[in-house]
Structure 1
Amino acid sequence: MTRKRRSFTPEFKLEAASLVLDQGYSVPEASRSLDIGETILRRWVKQLEEERGGTTPTNKALTPEQQKIQELEARINRLEREKVIL
């Protein structure tokens, strides 16, 4: 029997990681209450800590500020490619 891979929105990931970082839940408690794996929750918590520290993630950002930075970086890259073509 194959299990369907679940996907989560950036908002859900942010809220889940915030439970651990801001509201004092342990990773096991939060993962049980949200019905997600501890490993993925630990990854989200680590990513949120890095984003709050000012590091732009390589994957989809969780915080609105980092999402905006990623959008602007993508726009700059696209404009630079267009400039090279011209």
Structure 2
Amino acid sequence: MGSTRRHFTAEYKANAVALVLDDGRSIAEAARNIGVLEKTLGKWVKKERDLRDEQRDPDESLTRSERAELEQLRADYQRLLDENAHLQMQASFAKKVATWFAKDQQ
């Protein structure tokens, strides 16, 4: 005997996914409540998450504190890059001065 495959409408899938993504229920709980397999609902949720991630601005999902921290980290990173460049320039100059003094001593 062959198995009967169930088909779900796009609206049904969207409502099921909303239980997880919008209402904060676990996939297992939502799947039990609506009578579908966890794996099936998990696939629907993953597909919707991927779709939402593609459409989202990367910085949009950050909270204010996360955004402030990110901006601070970026500023610190740029400051460190500038400081590193300055130190490399000083080291290069020190090598040139040492070479000049070494030649003068001979």
Larger deviation: 18-27 or 46-55? 46-55
Alignment size in residue pairs = 55
TM-score normalised per structure 2: 0.48
Structure 1 counterpart of 2:6, which letter?
R
% identical equivalent positions: 42
Question: Which residue of the partner structure matches residue 8 of structure 2?
Answer: 8
Runs of 4+ in 1 over 2 A off after TM superposition: none
TM, length-normalised to structure 1:
0.58
Larger Rg: 2
Deviations along 1:15-35, one digit per CA (max 9) or x if unpaired, are 111111110111111001110
- In structure 2, runs of 5+ residues without a counterpart are 56-106
Quick one: higher RCO (CA 8 Å, sep 6+), 1 or 2?
1
Unaligned runs of 5+ in 1: 56-86
Structure with greater proportional helix content: 2
